[in-house]
Structure 1
């Protein structure tokens, strides 16, 4: 019997193609500025010495197909389309081969961002939490096992708003590749099943408003969709 004062909601589980059981969301790591064109559109240069990261809270994760309110505290809410990695086994200080072996599945994801708050805090050299760790701000489509899909360079990553194409790139444009990200991050954290890594967004990010329908796809993966309503 638990002696907790109250109970917390269970983490969401992401459906997995071909499986009856879902993938429970644990920690969410995000790679910043991992497409050169996106870094440039945000007025930044790419740090080619090493990847850098920010995090999102698991309770703020939702599944594709959701309809959610426009978040409070912002007037400039942005979409960011990303490839997500789902870790399937414990790994620390991984080699390239171990990094590939640790990836259980891949999926489409949205890193929704209160851009005005992110930029305000960045300019003051403060953490980005208010801009990035947004309620309903980490959106996940069903995952595809790594045995059934590979992140080939020529595969496209796209996002549209109300049918209008806004982001369109290939995975070849990733600055830090999948194995490099997992290997590097596992030097700082004991990665484990439940950990998800969002690998960065290509150029073309922009604002969305209540009533917008956001759709995204990566060749060969399950597509993603999010609908925004008026603020709660």
Structure 2
């Protein structure tokens, strides 16, 4: 009987901490410093792996109840934790607005007429008015080659123009100070890094690169509206 009580205490404790342990593991694999919350969403399914612990806690609780031992904590905690693990753990498979398809980088290349690394991990979120991708270069040689291409290119800027920054989504604006290189492309006019806009609507794209984190942030399918004849 003591073995069952000891086993019940262990399962109770493991069930109680399972959401926190799973989040720690997810944050390690998900690299939120690169991919933001999208990185954690990629590995949120790890929560599902902890469900058997809660199920066993319920079973041992029922056995303890049958033997008239202390059982409530095992069942109560498991009943609370299991739905959380199941709901959050299934989110990756429910949200169709998130993609981890590396072929998205080819689409960006074709639109902007530039070359980007292929040895990557990518997470793309389709928002209501634009798409945003977080990219990590996973190969050191590819990183070195890409950075050399940036330095040799006339398209990449090492400072972000104030007016260009002002038309970007707020979440991009607040991140931009952490990046070293930028490229802004006006799809409508075919011009790069031009902050002069005549009156009208423009489809634009934007990429920022962080050398230390080997990280790219890519803005796509974004439309700006200018009411001026010069800078917005």
| TM-score, length basis structure 2 | 0.22
**TM-score, normalised via structure 1 length:** 0.22
- Larger strand share, 1 or 2: 1
Answer 1 or 2: which has greater helix percent: 2
